[in-house]
Amino acid sequence: MSRGTGAGYDRHITIFSPEGRLYQVEYAFKAVKAAGVTSIGVRGKDSVCVVTQKKVPDKLLDQTSVTHLFPITKYLGLLATGMTADARSLVSQARNEAAEFRFKWGYEMPVDVLSKWIADKAQVYTQHAYMRPLGVASMVLGIDEEKGPQLFKCDPAGHFFGHKATSAGLKEQEAINFLEKKMKNDPAFSYDETVQTAISALQSVLQEDFKATEIENIIPLHLTHCYIPVSPQFIAWFLLVAWQLA
């Protein structure tokens, strides 16, 4: 069992490389991209919308079981981009954590608190050799009682930030470039505009028209304070509008 100077092992476990980098964490970021899916999140004035691709690799698969969108509570959603198995493990723990929070403190777990918890867990995997980092970038969304709509992104390195709009996955950088142009002057999007921006961002980045069944979309509504997974028919309507705008 070789150890010591870390010669050669800095690529296998999360110890420092000579330049002060963590190769395992960088490889985890690559694993997020390897899933081949791009996700977009946009925050509006009173709503938050996330969109992701729905790639069903086999026609025999039950499409309804293929999902990257997970309700954590009635008021919090999580979009996991990357390795699905890692995502499910994380979601399962997040659900437990959010439920305990509600029980212990008597109010719903806020978006930023859940994001911090996920990010802190990710940090532990970057420091302890016995567990590898998760190959998942999580976008947590919800409506905060005091701060309004919130969109947070947590990555395998343990970073987490609040975002006005963001992207994760294969075409992350192209999507962020697109969104930066749209969000340049700090616009306050209405519900419709939020959804349209998210969908048109995905369209422009993938440069293809996609059918309503090929994307998944969830939008928390300010009034009802809950998120709803949007049905394909609903998405089709938005796609129509997005095409006209694009």
Binding site for other proteins (CB under 8 A): 3-6, 10, 13-22, 43, 112, 116, 119-120, 122-124, 126-130, 152, 157-159, 161-166, 176, 179-180, 183-184
Of residues 161, 150, 147, 75, the one with CA closest to residue 118 = 161
Q: How far is the CB of 109 from other proteins (least distance, A)?
A: 16
Report DSSP state, residue 10.
G
Give whichever of 52 and 166 is closer to other proteins, judged by the CB atom.
166
Specify the amino acid at residue 213.
Answer: T
Of residues 12, 16, 28, the one with CA closest to residue 127 = 16
Q: Is 109 exposed, middle or buried (0-12, 13-18, 19+ CB in 10 A)?
A: buried
Give whichever of 222 and 229 is closer to other proteins, judged by the CB atom.
222
Q: How far is the CB of 56 from other proteins (least distance, A)?
A: 30
Q: How far is the CB of 165 from other proteins (least distance, A)?
A: 5
Backbone phi, then psi, for 245, in 5-degree steps? -80, -35
Q: How far is the CB of 144 from other proteins (least distance, A)?
A: 11
Tokens for 173?
């950088």
Give whichever of 78 and 212 is closer to other proteins, judged by the CB atom.
78
Give whichever of 33 and 54 is closer to other proteins, judged by the CB atom.
33
The dihedral built from the CA positions of residue 242, 214, 83 and 169, taken in this order, carries a sign that is negative
CA distance 154 to 112: 10
Give whichever of 48 and 69 is closer to other proteins, judged by the CB atom.
48
Q: How far is the CB of 131 from other proteins (least distance, A)?
A: 8
